[in-house]
Structure 1
Amino acid sequence: MVPVHAAWAFLGLAPLLVLGVPPIWTQPEQVHLSYPGVPGSMVVTWTTFNKTESKVEYGLLGGQLFEMTARGNATLFVDSGEEKRGMYIHRVTLIDLKPAATYVYHCGSDVGWSDVLSFTALNDSTNFSPRFALYGDLGNENPQSLARLQKETQLGMYDAILHIGDFAYDMDEDNARIGDEFMRQIQSIAAYVPYMTCPGNHEAAYNFSNYRNRFSMPGQTESLWYSWNVGSAHIISFSTEVFFYIQYGLELLFKQYEWLKKDLEEANRPENRAVRPWIITMGHRPMYCSDDDQDDCTRLGRKDTKPPAPGLEDLFYRYGVDLELWAHEHTYERLWPVYGDKVYNGSKEQPYVNPKGPVHIITGSAGCRERTDRFNPNPKEWSAFRSTDYGYTRMQVVNKTHIYLEQVSDDQYGRVIDNIWVVKEKHGFSFFFFTLGIDLFLAV
């Protein structure tokens, strides 16, 4: 007869024995995708709490399930909170993917596998018309737009997501458990399409360590700044936070500036701008805004600052950046084409047709515990449309001359409350300078 205490001990192990379910600490979770910038590739990232193999099994939709295998590696990330919690971040790069083909995959190892998931490899044609959802400031608490974004992503409405800073509120809280929970929440989006990011101020704890370790963006800068090409667009992600957290190294600000300059120079080579004429930037804190909180849009480096730091507005203007995407303010705001605090519309009747300055969009109202912000009742003339509704932005780079943007209100059950077409027949600084010069001549 089995002693009672032995029977209880055996029953205590039952959850680990039923159907061979692996212990939770070897189970993959927080699965998300990113595009490494190389055509025909995708990075799969996930977390376990014990060290395991890093393996992705995958195959074409409709073909043999899991007929291909790719292996990667795991990095131990130790959060800097009191508990010094450790977790293993796994990264596997899939290569030689067929453009626009759909793949079924799962990730993990023989001691634990994720759910069966799927993604569509990015089309590498410059005639591809990619569709994006873009937003910032999405938290673990009050993530109001999340359910709608989950459904729309799984309906196949987007080719990529641009999350423009501020995640979880905050990833480091409760010894990084809030970060874990947030990454679980977005898995139903980020495991299906590339989830492309930039850092915000809410990632600053422990020198942005949760952000730098959890995400897998292109380049060798721990996801702080990078660029990638898709369709007819060159997209640049950068850190506005180097202007504000100089205790982590003022040299980062100058290093990023030099990288931006070189990247923009390369994007503006005639042969490159001919095939990818759209240059789009994304950074967390906006250069302009009309929120009534005396916040950072008056302080981000438009011009050179003290301590000495190079401004970004002239740099972006000089290299003909077309569209600048921002978040941080918990609102939506669309600006008229603007440079140097002045409006430079294409024309009075068609302001976004051949605009003479960059177009700015602020989209930071996806939903977080800090709620939405208030607007200044007397905005400057560059403010074109404003909303305090929770929501997010959709963007499609339709072709080399047309981009479409619209704002979705989650408060109004998915209603589109604003939309514009940006139309540019020519791109680059020479176009800005030439059209602006004509206007100044005619004004004399």
Structure 2
Amino acid sequence: MAALLCFCALISAVCCAPLIETQPEQVHVSYPGEISLFMIDSCQSKQRQTVVVFIPIIFWLSVVEYGLWGGKLFSHTAEGDASVFIDGGPENRTMYVHRVTLTDLTPAASYVYHCGSDAGWSDIFYFTSLNESVSFSPRFALFGDMGNENPQSLSRLQKETQMGMYDVILHIGDFAYDMHEDNGRIGDEFMRQIQSIAAYTPYMTCPGNHEWAYNFSHYRSRFSMPGHTENLWYSWNIGPAHIISFSTEVYFYLEYGLDLLFRQYDWLQADLQEANRPENRAQRPWIITMGHRPMYCSNDDGDDCTHFQSYVRLGRNDTKPIAPGLEDLFYQYGVDLELWAHEHTYERLWPVYDYKVFNGSSEEPYVNPKAPVHIITGSAGCREKHDGFIPKPRDWSAFRSTDYGYTRMRLINGTHLYLEQVSDDQVALACVCVSVCLFVCVCVSE
């Protein structure tokens, strides 16, 4: 059995007036984490008027109509609920966020859907429900730091997603630059921009530093990730992998609560313990993490990852109690691959722990490596342009690029994982490989 969650926001106008000219938008889908579920994530609707007030939900019914691809169109209907989101800017713009869960989907089947009500319907989209098999070989696009301005990689991602090249999108923090700006209108525009990706393929996220405003309220309200932590940290399973998303920002925005840092750490430890139970690790040998600010980088700036005493890597000793870092935890529990963004570049590391390289061998560094492999992929494009690198790379740095681009990943099976970096500035693709066993890399040109 599978399920789908549709999340629709409604910006309304005149109090007690019937809703008119409403058109659902900003649709996106996501997985819920449980193997028996699949979710649609977001539709938003708006009024053209600028005065924003609360209108009772009775004026707007959250509905998703859907059916199997090639079958009777919209043969099934699911209704959802709504919540109110008020932007923290001076206008206090009010939006209604609608979520709908679809159940009893056939695993790995293609569906057509739209969402809305008699007041207005979205465009027609399609998705594929979750393949529950551990032998499933899912394909990912992953990136961070994509803005409303200069979203360099967006057009290629739009085309490739609608061609069916990906089963999942991972956006590793920093959205829109910034979702809260112009009283949330930049967030609206960005969510409209990514609808051409996120309405077709599950769009899985983690928070970045650009989501800081109003205690990350836009991020927490606009997305619907698994678990019950308002999208800040969660885990889910797909194919042979257990994927963990977490917030690096709990180490930096202590004004929002030091307890978040410790709660997340305790949750991570418990989640990794469960993932490492012999029966679970046998089914899903890959453990992959995604968080925004990296532990290591060789960029020419003053970010946390350029410091040996990185907060994310080693924790903070200026808190009471002392806040633990994540490198030892991930190393202890055998995390295979750590995905990061934040730096507006691409960097692949050798297997590394405590600043030391632990290659599998000199000839095959990524075959049975003795430490996690780190990938930094934050060059999808934003108004802050590129970052630079220090002239001489560190010993643990294997490959660096300042080109705009994003990363493709395929979980081939329980022992083979393939990555390649797409340069949006050049035609060729830079081939990247990580594995616990033997990898065959094939570079692709377009």
**Aligned amino acid, residue 42 of structure 2:** T
Number of the residue aligned with 2:73: 65
- Counting only pairs closer than 5 Å after superposition, residues 1-150 of structure 1 correspond to structure 2 as 23-24=20-21, 26-38=22-34, 39-49=36-46, 51=57, 52-150=60-158
* 1:191 correspondence with 2:188: no
Q: Do the aligned residues in 1 keep the contact of 2:294 with 2:312 (CA within 8 Å)?
A: no
Query: Residue 158 of structure 1 corresponds to which residue in structure 2?
Result: 166
Matches within 5 A, 1:310-325: 310-325=324-339
Q: Which runs of no fewer than 5 residues in structure 1 stay unpaired?
A: 1-21, 426-444
Amino acid at match of 1:274: A
Equivalent position amino acid for 1:41 in 2 = F
1:374 shift after superposition: 0.3
TM-score normalised over the length of structure 1: 0.89
Aligned to 2:418: 404
Looking at secondary structure, tell me which structure has more helix per residue. 1
Question: Which residue does the alignment assign to 1:14?
Answer: none
C-alpha distance in 1 between matches for 2:233 and 2:37: 22
Q: Secondary structure at the match of 1:251?
A: helix
1:171 aligned residue: 179
Amino acid at match of 2:41: V
Q: How far did residue 302 of structure 1 move? A: 1.5
Aligned partners of 2:223 and 2:313: how far apart in 1?
Answer: 28
Does the alignment pair 1:417 with 2:417?
A: no
Distance of aligned partners of 1:206 and 1:337 in 2 relative to their CA distance in 1, 3 Å threshold: same
Which of 263, 282, 297 is 1:274 aligned to?
Answer: 282
Aligned-partner Cα distance in 2 for 1:301–1:163:
19
> For 1:96, what is the secondary structure of its paired residue?
strand
Paired residues for 1:378-393 under 5 Å: 378-393=392-407
Kept in 2: contact 1:301–1:309 (CA 8 A):
no
Distance 1:304 1:325 in 2: 19
Deviation string 1:50-81 (CA, Å, 9 cap, x unpaired) is 64111100000000000001111111100000
1:332 partner amino acid = Y
SS in structure 1 at match of 2:312: coil
Other-structure match for 1:353:
367
Q: Read off the aligned partner of 2:72 and give its amino acid letter.
A: Q
Contact 2:360/2:370 (<8 A) preserved: yes
Task: Report the equivalent of 1:288.
Answer: 296
In the alignment, structure 1 residue 331 sits paired with structure 2 residue 351: no
Corresponding residue of 1:10:
none
Q: 1:40·1:124 contact (CA, 8 Å) conserved in 2?
A: no
Q: Distance in 2 between matches of 1:407 and 1:23?
A: 46
- Residue aligning to 2:442: none
Counterpart-to-counterpart distance in 2, 1:381 and 1:421: 18
Count how many residue pairs are aligned between Structure 1 and Structure 2: 402
Q: CA deviation at 1:420?
A: 1.3
Listed as ranges, the gaps of 5+ residues in structure 2 are 1-18, 47-54, 439-446
Report % sequence identity. Answer: 72
Deviation of residue 45 (structure 1)?
Answer: 1.9
| Local SS of the residue matching 1:179 | helix
Q: Is 2:236 aligned against 1:239?
A: no
Q: Is the 8 A contact 2:79 2:100 kept in 1?
A: yes
How big is the shift at 1:40? 4.0
